[in-house]
Chains A and B, each alone.
Chain A
Amino acid sequence: GAVVSQHPSWVICKSGTSVKIECRSLDFQATTMFWYRQFPKQSLMLMATSNEGSKATYEQGVEKDKFLINHASLTLSTLTVTSAHPEDSSFYICSARDPGFTDTQYFGPGTRLTVL
């Protein structure tokens, strides 16, 4: 199957700092990527839909100024957690939609964020 990578795989930062997470689709050009957050023993929760060349669409309750999304190219989307706080500690997973198969999303390996 298609490969989606994330970097970094884990990050520890101090409260108040900003952290950038990259998501890359390696096998195809993804006009649409998605960012999810997953808390322990819970399912994935969609945070936002990242559209190449346009603004991201955020789910209800997700602060767009807190979680900045940039989808500058067809293979890269970034999520920046600004002024991170301990409650932002979570597992962040991205996925990319293969334009050849509109109902198929490929997930990245995830990024573990720990805010001290």
Chain B
Amino acid sequence: KNQVEQSPQSLIILEGKNCTLQCNYTVSPFSNLRWYKQDTGRGPVSLTIMTFSENTKSNGRYTATLDADTKQSSLHITASQLSDSASYICVVTPNRGRANNLFFGTGTRLTVIP
């Protein structure tokens, strides 16, 4: 079973609307949780990073939340734009002092339509 689950798998929204993507994880203990945006045919780009003690982190129109008790995180996108169409990946770094054991979610494919 994947230790990082994302939902929904895909999402289509109208331009200008808001949306929320979900990430549930079982990795424990963990060092940090990141949300990445991956455009088609490109590498992932970091949007937000939160340690286990942080509840929320914003980056422009992107706001990530973290509930370490329930092991859930969400990424909220406000006033969506066509350029937001991409895959959004939740990545958890376990607290082992190394960065190579990253746990990747399967991603949510977001499509913003005009």
Contact = CB atoms under 8 A, between A and B. Distances in A.
B43 A109 contact: yes
A105 B104 CA distance: 13
B43 A102 contact: no
A46 to B, nearest CB: 7
B43 A110 contact: yes
A49 B100 contact: yes
A32 B102 CA distance: 14
Interface residues of B, number: 22
A109 B49 CA distance: 20
Interface string B69-107: 000000000000000000001000100011110101111
A60 B88 CA distance: 26
Task: Assign chain A's interface to a size class.
Answer: 20 to 34
Interface string B11-42: 00000000000000000000110001000011
Contacts of B105: 43
B44 A97 contact: no
B95 to A, nearest CB: 9
A67 interface: no
A102 B98 contact: yes
Interface in A4-24: 4, 6
B43 A105 contact: no
B102 A105 contact: yes
B97 A102 contact: yes
Interface of B: 31-32, 36, 41-46, 49, 89, 93, 97-100, 102, 104-107, 109
10 contacts: A43-B104, A43-B105, A44-B89, A102-B97, A103-B31, A103-B93, A106-B46, A107-B43, A107-B45, A108-B43
Q: Which 7 A-B pairs have the closest CB atoms?
A: A107-B43, A43-B104, A110-B43, A109-B43, A107-B44, A43-B106, A49-B100
